[in-house]
Structure 1
Amino acid sequence: MFKNVICEAQFTKFSRYYIKMLRNPAGERNKQPILETLQQYIDVNKESRLLEISSGCGLHISFISSYFPMTRFQPSEYDKALFKSIKEYTKDCRNVNEPILIDISKDVECWDSMCDGQFLNLCTNVFDYMLNINMIHITALECTEGLFKNCSKLLKPNGLLFTYGPYSINNVLIPESNVSFDKGLRRQNPCWGIRDIADLKSLAQKNSMNLLKIHDLPSNNKLLVWNKN
């Protein structure tokens, strides 16, 4: 069983209780560059639906959603302990649904969560966009495989998947800080680690998806834009 660690800040625990709104300092720093990249692709004047896989503490979806009022955002998480934080971040967001439970490593046919009154296991070709921030390198490979496989089913034709985080390119990982970060991840869990974009492209192509664009963002991270054929 993999452990899905999404939020860049560790949980703060007092006795048996988690605080409601989890702090995410790194997320505060990168939310603006992520938004500015998404603004190049999401049509602010068109009604659309976006499913976020692994919403973490909820910081990004609460921030991004305010800039796209005609887009209906659906947060999701594998760890239900994060639901309180997501709800706290998004409580004033009119276009954000309640968080739902999704295990991205499993096929969508096995999901029993509902989105806008529909069971997701029946929602093929319904989402215009899907978003995944800082998950790929801190989960088992099965999660990344499930991400592309399920995106190919859930996205509309020509729908877009956005993934954000650190990546290597053709087995070259730079700078040294990312190399050290990768080693630390693998020591913590041998199933984790920074993935290579070439491997992700191969996985995407197996699931009828292509890499459209690589955006270099601050702190040695990238935002990758994928589309469904």
Structure 2
Amino acid sequence: MLYPDLPYSQACENNKAAILAVLHQAFAASSKVLEVGSGTGQHAEYFASHLAHLTWQASEQPQYLAPLAERLRRAGLANLPLPVALDICQDTVPKPAFDALFSANTLHIMPWNVVKQFFSRLNQLLCQPATLCIYGPFNYNGNFTSDSNRLFDQSLKSRDPAMGIRDCAAVVALAAAEGFTLQQDHSMPANNRLLQFVSSKP
């Protein structure tokens, strides 16, 4: 919902239906999802309202938690608890009570060393077997998939040289090192992708 007093992302509104169409099948056998980097909470609210079989646990860095918590409180959904504080760079992480993880538009914001740390934490965050879904723009063979992505990458790097669109193969390699295999690479609107991984551990 639109709350004038809370942060709002138009991008979340634009992509939520397309992402949900994938999550319906990707998380069909899941029961508890951890969302890393929930931002405004629009995705969490929307997905929880349409995936009633799931408990959707939103998370965010502590400094961004208050407005996110307020949105989820107003949503009043039984399967959408209040968000938890999660900084992937810190040692403390939630207990591995989740069988799925979702993250949208985070890897190009994280410095590459934090991206690597994110993947190294997967087995601390998830029980097995598990499903991992990551949404955002990706490069292939070092190439941008569109002029708009190339310009977006330039904009990111002008803010912080450590930011940037990541190469799909490098991300897949990080996941594989932690026991997660790419199951599907979904084409999404606006030159984005949704990478769906499954754990290869029993």
User: Paired residue for 2:81?
Assistant: 97
Q: Secondary structure at the match of 2:56?
A: strand
Aligned partner (choices 28, 31, 54) of residue 13 of structure 2:
28
Q: Secondary structure at the match of 1:64?
A: helix
User: Paired residue for 1:187?
Assistant: 158
- How high is the TM-score relative to the length of structure 2? 0.90
Unaligned ranges ≥5, structure 1: 1-18, 113-119
Root-mean-square deviation (CA), in Å?
Answer: 1.7
| CA deviations over 1:60-114 (Å, ceiling 9, x no partner) | 01000011222111111014334323432453221111111111133xxx216xx
- Whole-Å separation in 2 of the counterparts to 1:64 and 1:139: 24
Aligned length: 196
Closer, same or farther in 2 for the Cα pair 1:34/1:81, shift >3 Å? same
Q: Would you say the 8 A contact 1:213–1:225 is kept in 2?
A: yes
Q: Would you say the 8 A contact 1:151–1:161 is kept in 2?
A: no
Is 1:69 the counterpart of 2:40? The answer is: no
> Which stretch shifts more, 61-70 or 189-198?
61-70
- How high is the TM-score relative to the length of structure 1? 0.80
Identity value in percent: 29
Q: Secondary structure at the match of 1:137?
A: coil
1:33-182 counterparts in 2 under 5 A?
Answer: 33-43=18-28, 48-91=31-74, 92-106=76-90, 110-111=91-92, 120=94, 123-124=95-96, 126-182=97-153
4+ runs of 1 displaced by more than 6 Å?
none
- Whole-Å separation in 1 of the counterparts to 2:146 and 2:60: 30
| CA deviations over 1:36-61 (Å, ceiling 9, x no partner) | 11011222xx6711111010010001
User: Paired residue for 1:219?
Assistant: 190
- Whole-Å separation in 1 of the counterparts to 2:166 and 2:69: 27
Closer, same or farther in 2 for the Cα pair 1:138/1:94, shift >3 Å? same
1:157 is displaced (CA, Å) by 2.2
> Which stretch shifts more, 89-98 or 194-203?
89-98
